[in-house]
Amino acid sequence: MKFICVGRNYAAHAQELGNAVPAEPLLFIKPDTARLWGDVFHLPAFANQIHFECELVVQVKAPLKNATIEQASQALHTVSLGLDFTARDVQDELKAQGLPWEKAKAFDGSALVSTAALPAKADDHFNFSLHINGTQRQSGDSRLMLTPIPALLAYASRYFTILPEDYVFTGTPAGVGALTAGDVLEGFLDGQLFFKVQVAA
């Protein structure tokens, strides 16, 4: 199993970090060891600034390789809600040096996926939000994606075969920020609570 992730898929989020909106989806991968099991996220010792990124997460029901948008639409299976934990200080340093992002994005525990999922079809849309300590910090809607889900799956499948056990993270909306020990993160998908995670030192 792997996580296929896209960066800068919402214009307002690209702007808040001072990044250009990319001409093509910006992809990166997390390995299966990145999965956060349970409901406690431990702040890693190697970073000073861990950001939360709440994202819609997609699974497919059939393998996709060099898929067309139509084939990707047909293969769409479920949507769930996840967190792409990011060591932002590490990422900024890597970006400045033109180096790969893995240490900032693919570390152990950096990918949370809700256990619950909703069935998804290509023309569905989903809204979601992230609350921290009871205050809404992010809200998103799949209709605001720069690259919509079927096109994103088709594009990613040119490079990486997408298997039914894989999770595709579809990008985060604006509002990202740093976490501190004791924070409680609650993710809502279409108004329902899909995850609750505690941040610990």
Q: Is 166 one of the binding residues for Zn ion (CB under 5 A)?
A: no
**Is 71 within 8 Å of 62 (Cβ atoms)?**
no
- Give me the least distance between CB of 82 and Zn ion, in Å please: 9
Distance CA 167, CA 180 (A): 27
- Give me the least distance between CB of 77 and Zn ion, in Å please: 21
Q: Is 84 one of the binding residues for Zn ion (CB under 5 A)?
A: yes
**Is 173 within 8 Å of 140 (Cβ atoms)?**
yes
Using the contact rule CB under 5 A, the part of the chain among 19-27, 50-58, 120-128, 140-148 near Zn ion is 50-58
Which of 53, 58, 147, 168 contacts Zn ion by CB under 5 A? 53
Give the closest residue to 84 by CA, choosing from 164, 4, 165, 196: 4
- Give me the least distance between CB of 36 and Zn ion, in Å please: 14
The residue (of 169 and 188) whose beta carbon lies closer to Zn ion is: 169
3-state secondary structure of 3: strand
The DSSP secondary-structure symbol of 98 reads T
Distance CA 26, CA 114 (A): 23
Residues of this chain, 170-199, that bind Zn ion according to CB under 5 A: 172
- Give me the least distance between CB of 71 and Zn ion, in Å please: 25
- Give me the least distance between CB of 68 and Zn ion, in Å please: 25
Distance CA 152, CA 160 (A): 12
The residue (of 84 and 166) whose beta carbon lies closer to Zn ion is: 84
Binding site for Zn ion (CB under 5 A): 53, 84, 172
